Amino acid sequence: MASRRQTSYGLNSSSANSRGVVLCTCGGTAVVRTVKHGPNIGRKFH
Angle ∠(4,36,18) on CA atoms, nearest 5 = 65
Domain ranges of the chain: 15-46
> Does the global pTM surpass 0.75?
no
Question: Which of 14, 13, 11 lies closest to 44, judged by CA?
Answer: 11
What's residue 25's pLDDT?
A: 86
CB within 8 Å of 23: residues ≥ 6 apart = 15, 16, 17, 29, 30
SS3 34: strand
Q: Residues 3-43: pLDDT tens digits? A: 455 455 544 444 556 677 888 888 888 999 999 999 999 99
Question: Which of 28, 27, 33 lies closest to 46, judged by CA?
Answer: 33
